[in-house]
């Protein structure tokens, strides 16, 4: 089942390679979308793909790269849009 997840990650997730970690895992899982930094030290992820792969990505988000310390992961699920061709880092 194809879905769209909008995910907000809070904690020490900026300046520790978190966006690059997310892009790598999303590409491994064949997901499309993007990751970007947001205000307040948060990271926002828009990801589309199969539900199982999206759920696996969420599991990875809790782990993050070695220097990250994830405090919270919020997920908003929506219907698949097909808006993304690949997974990228937005500035």
Task: Point out the catalytic residue in the list 19, 23, 36, 86.
Answer: 19
Do β-strands 42-50 and 87-89 pair in parallel, antiparallel, or remain unpaired? Answer: unpaired
Cα angle: 58, vertex 63, 66; to 5 degrees:
145
Catalytic status, residue 19:
yes
Task: Point out the catalytic residue in the list 12, 36, 37, 42.
Answer: 37
Where in the sequence numbering do the catalytic residues fall? 19, 37
């Amino acid at each position: 089942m194809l879905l769209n997840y909008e995910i907000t990650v809070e904690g020490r997730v900026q300046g520790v390679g978190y966006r690059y970690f997310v892009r790598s895992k999303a590409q491994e899982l064949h997901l499309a979308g993007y990751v970007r930094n947001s205000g307040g030290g948060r990271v926002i992820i828009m990801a589309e793909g199969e539900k199982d792969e999206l759920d696996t990505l969420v599991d990875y988000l809790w782990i993050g790269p070695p220097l990250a310390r994830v405090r919270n992961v919020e997920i908003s699920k929506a219907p698949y849009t097909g808006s993304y061709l690949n997974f990228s880092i937005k500035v």
